[in-house]
Amino acid sequence: MLLLEHSKPQTMRIVHWVGADADRLALLFEVFLGNDYRLTQRSAWAVRYVGEKHPELMLPYYAVLLKALRRKPLHDAVKRNVLNVFEALDITPDCYDDLADHCFRYLADPKEPIAVRCASMTVLEKICRAIPELKSELQMLIEEHLEFGGAGFKSRGKRILQALGKMEHGFEG
């Protein structure tokens, strides 16, 4: 199915096929973690949407998702979609350090695609709820890049800065 075409309708057919079936998700992850660069890229999109629709299925794959961010070469689609999965998940404490390291690195690099940098901001904001000591670093980094960011970066950055400000004043939510 992944080889037929690379389109959102085809991706959604794959997501529908996986559904809430853990065995089918395991098959999708086999492809996602395989050595075929194109299949890894295409399967990343399906992994994202399965994660959004059935986040409970992703818990056994947290470490695998983090490992995927360390692969070389690493396609931007893999970064973006893995981070999009984490945007929808309750991030567990065992992931905080590794995930925060990746996200801070992506956010700080103006050469990273805007979608990767924006997803990094959102994931970092979630981590800051658990590790408030990271808030000032995230705020500083967003403010440093805000002036030169595109419209999407500016919009997300302002929203995250506002959320971080509410955390500081005890108004989470």
The residue count for the chain: 173
Q: What is the Cα–Cα distance from 98 to 13, expressed in whole angstroms?
A: 32
pLDDT (0 to 100) of residue 21 = 97
pLDDT (0 to 100) of residue 63 = 93
Count CB neighbours of 36 within 10 A: 12
The single-letter DSSP state of residue 95 is G
Q: Could you tell me the pTM of the whole model? A: 0.89
pLDDT (0 to 100) of residue 173 = 46
Is-contact 40 32, C-beta < 8 A? Answer: yes
Pick from 51, 49, 54, 76: nearest CA to 64: 51
Is-contact 43 6, C-beta < 8 A? Answer: no
With the C-alpha atoms ordered 41, 43, 45, 51, is the resulting torsion angle positive or negative?
A: negative
Model confidence over 82-117: pLDDT tens digits? Answer: 999 999 899 999 999 999 999 999 999 999 999 999
pLDDT (0 to 100) of residue 168 = 67
Percent of the chain at pLDDT exceeding 70: 97
Residues of the chain with pLDDT under 70: 168-173
